[in-house]
Amino acid sequence: MNTRNFDWLTVAALAALAYVTGTALHEHLGHAASCVALGSHVEKFGAFYVDCDDTPLSAMRVRWVALAGPIVSLLTGLVCARLLRVARAPLARLFTWMLASIGLMTAFGYMLFSAVSGIGDLGTGNDGLLHGVAMPWLWRVLMGGIGYWLYDRSVVWSIRTLAGIIGGREERPQRVQRIALLTYIAGAVTCIVIGLFNPEGIVIVLTSAAAASLGGTSGFAWGPPRTQVGAGDSDAVAFPRSWAWIATSVVLVLAYAIVFGPTITMPAG
């Protein structure tokens, strides 16, 4: 089925793959790799969380492990935003835009989330960035204000960049809204389903999978109506059905769900 020159199944597959890739980079290249690099070991590898043994780590190193996830998400966003300048194939550009947007929204969304809730990578919990700091309320206010502004700017950049990628004339605002919303729905559903693989079930879905996807990337849903996107001056770019992208997404997403969804528990070492 094609809607206004884009195939919904292919776009949904791209979104599912982008969400899983962004999550894997955040958790495993960020938290897990930094845990090992700083002298400890990972006790549990989950699809949406990593448990690092904090016992041998100093308070500062614990903070670095917490910060590593958002840093990797930020770098993912910045690198992919740069790659958009050289990517040429329409579907590759769309996937790169998704990964860039997810990375930026995740990094800045965490600042706002942890500032408001006090939990998460940048929160005041035992394994959070602000654990044990003096005047945590002041840091939370500052982080929340900066996070709100940066998240808003990342959403505006994302929607305007998407408009430039997809082209179109009078129908461009409608295409932007459809593709952004489909990206959000497909990615969020994928994350929630993977979260159900975890033995803790609904707990992980609510605290990690749903919070990160539904909340962290909500800019895909509310960004298009808020961002001014006018008619374009070029023909709409077509995003046809690609069984290669669909198959790649199905294989990789399913593999991630099967391997990390139930959680890998490492032997005590």
Q: What is the pLDDT of residue 3?
A: 45
Helix (H) or strand (E) holding 42: strand 42-45
Q: What is the mean pLDDT of residues 23-38?
A: 97
pLDDT-derived band at 1, boundaries 50, 70, 90 = very low
Distances (CA, A) of 207 to 43, 161, 172, 191: 19, 30, 36, 12
Q: Checking phi first, is residue 209 left (phi over 0); if not, alpha (psi -120 to 50) or beta?
A: alpha
pLDDT-derived band at 205, boundaries 50, 70, 90 = low
pLDDT-derived band at 203, boundaries 50, 70, 90 = low
- The structure tokens 């903070």 sit at 63
Is the Cβ–Cβ distance between 57 and 27 less than 8 Å? no
Q: Is the pLDDT of residue 224 over 60?
A: yes
Give the Cα separation of 95 and 245 in Å (integer): 10
Tens digits of residue pLDDT in 67-108: 999 999 999 999 999 999 999 999 999 999 999 999 999 999
Tens digits of residue pLDDT in 108-145: 999 999 999 898 899 999 889 999 999 999 999 999 99
Q: Is the pLDDT of residue 2 over 50?
A: no
Give the Cα separation of 154 and 243 in Å (integer): 31
User: Percentage of the chain surpassing pLDDT 90?
Assistant: 74
- Break the chain down into helix, strand, coil percent, rounded to 5: 65, 5, 30
Look up the pTM and report it.
0.94
Backbone angles phi, psi at 221, to 5 degrees: -85, -50
Q: What is the pLDDT of residue 30?
A: 97
**SS3 assignment, position 249:** helix
Give the Cα separation of 214 and 191 in Å (integer): 9
Q: What is the mean pLDDT of residues 19-40?
A: 97
Q: What is the mean pLDDT of residues 37-51?
A: 94
Q: Where are the beta strands (DSSP E) in the chain?
A: 2-3, 6-7, 42-45, 50-52, 264-265
Q: What is the pLDDT of residue 120?
A: 86
Q: What is the mean pLDDT of residues 3-30?
A: 93
Is the Cβ–Cβ distance between 96 and 83 less than 8 Å? yes
Bigger pLDDT: 196 vs 37? 37
Q: Please report, for the chain, the start and end positions of each structural domain, with discontinuous segments joined by +.
A: 2-259
Residue 228: CB atoms within 10 Å: 9
Which residues have CB under 8 Å from 72's CB, separation 6+? 25, 26, 29, 30
Give the Cα separation of 93 and 99 in Å (integer): 10
Q: Is the pLDDT of residue 189 over 80?
A: yes
Backbone angles phi, psi at 52, to 5 degrees: -100, 135
Helix (H) or strand (E) holding 150: helix 136-166
Backbone angles phi, psi at 124, to 5 degrees: -100, 5
Give the Cα separation of 69 and 31 in Å (integer): 5
Is the Cβ–Cβ distance between 51 and 43 less than 8 Å? yes
